[in-house]
Chain A
């Protein structure tokens, strides 16, 4: 069973239907006046969290202060964190802040991202791979592909995302510097900008188990940092990421770093669906690499960030300005991708939208859906609890809704006129 990270606060949900109409996979229904998420369909994109007017949806995260049993706590900040602070001109201030709030060390995801950029350049030169290569960094996109675009599964780059490589390197460094600690003493904390990464870390990637121990919300850490960063203690830690690593925080940063102009970067699920449909139909020839981010603007648009993604992006531009292009390069004689960063197990294709396992039963159900749909008003009001009249017809045929929930039909004067005729 897939463990999701999107959680509903029942006391706040008013059953207002906003989320059902925004969910890109039609995973939500309103039942008994409350939102109910279908776990099989949810891709943890966080769209419902973003649009909920009552703040009833949130991403489940752990609290940093609950994990005191680790003797050596390492923070893995996503580069999106650096874009949250007004007037920040040195990333070191943020890293020092992480130490000041109680972490023992910091390993930047941006550093690992620069290595992934290097691996990507190598991977693109591999013969016989399916092009365009699709980035594996956004877990919501990977899950979307596994549910809806089985034909494109082999296009996903079989290299671990930056957070995993950061976790591996951080643990290795800790063990080298502190041989006195056992594995269980070392805690790797990822500071996440989004819900999808929380789910990904809980569930793994196909057969791959995440190397991250705890996921904390970027928002929570931000408020803790605000308390200590005012002190302006001179930083004792220094950033090991360049322009490329930090650029990964916003859409286009990862793709533009591959040194090849045949790339495409898209953000927002609706745009991503259009791009994936086009790739599947072969409409975008000669494309080498595709970067897709479920959140608008890229990771800076995650639901656990504070700042507007476009403002955060602008701030990152000033942070990046005086940095070297990249601080994490592979040795120049390294022409292969090490086995330790390869992730060959893809999530299996799950045909979630299939009506029935039997083809003839699916055909019968589809005919019934078409018949019911024609009787429905077609205004997609959502009052029945389904996102559209089409989805409502499907819910009726699947036996999870009943026609009398359509308030337009129930209140329609049509029956009267029929009687008088």
Chain B
């Protein structure tokens, strides 16, 4: 089987309260495909963190989840401010989230590290002033 399936989601940057919806939708679709619960959870967490990041920092963006025979890929793309120092951003506890966001319990500096922890692969492509594309994958085997 060489076919793959793509689930596309638009992440609304205006509405903080709707963040996390794509992650719930992905979970439902992966359950329908019979993906093992632990992998569903990994994908769901990575998606959720990615969504929150796009809402906090980039004014929204889009997310594609591509399921194929051997892996699930997640591609998160935004046209936000970009990440100046990717290495620094990957450090646990480092965050550039504004206080207004932190007061809601977000912006603990765990988003990117969490995504890396639950995924088998992760690359960040970011250009300051242009935007960020994160590609992640978890293997199915």
Binding site for B on A (CB under 8 A): 148, 150-151, 277-278, 280-283, 349, 351, 353-357, 359-360, 362-364, 366-367, 370, 394
Contacts and interface: CB of A to CB of B under 8 A. Distances in A.
A182 to B, nearest CB: 46
Contacts of A357: 34
Nearest to A273: B24
B69 A360 contact: yes
Contacts of B5: 363, 366-367, 370
Given A277-B24, A366-B5, A359 B33 contact: yes
A366 B37 contact: no
Contacts of B23: 277, 281
A282 B33 contact: no
A25 to B, nearest CB: 11
The 4 closest A-B pairs by CB, nearest first: A150-B37, A354-B34, A360-B1, A362-B33
B91 interface: no
A282 B71 CA distance: 23
Interface of B: 1, 3, 5, 20, 23-24, 27-29, 31-34, 37-38, 40-41, 44-45, 48, 67, 69, 114
26 contacts: A151-B38, A151-B40, A277-B20, A277-B23, A277-B24, A277-B27, A277-B44, A280-B41, A281-B20, A281-B23, A282-B114, A351-B31, A353-B28, A354-B32, A355-B32, A355-B33, A355-B34, A359-B34, A360-B69, A362-B32, A362-B33, A362-B34, A363-B3, A363-B5, A363-B33, A394-B32
Nearest to B52: A283
Nearest to B40: A151
A150 B39 CA distance: 12
Nearest to A153: B37
B51 to A, nearest CB: 11
B24 A366 contact: no
A23 to B, nearest CB: 15
A277 B33 CA distance: 19
A326 to B, nearest CB: 34
Contacts of B67: 363
B31 A366 contact: no
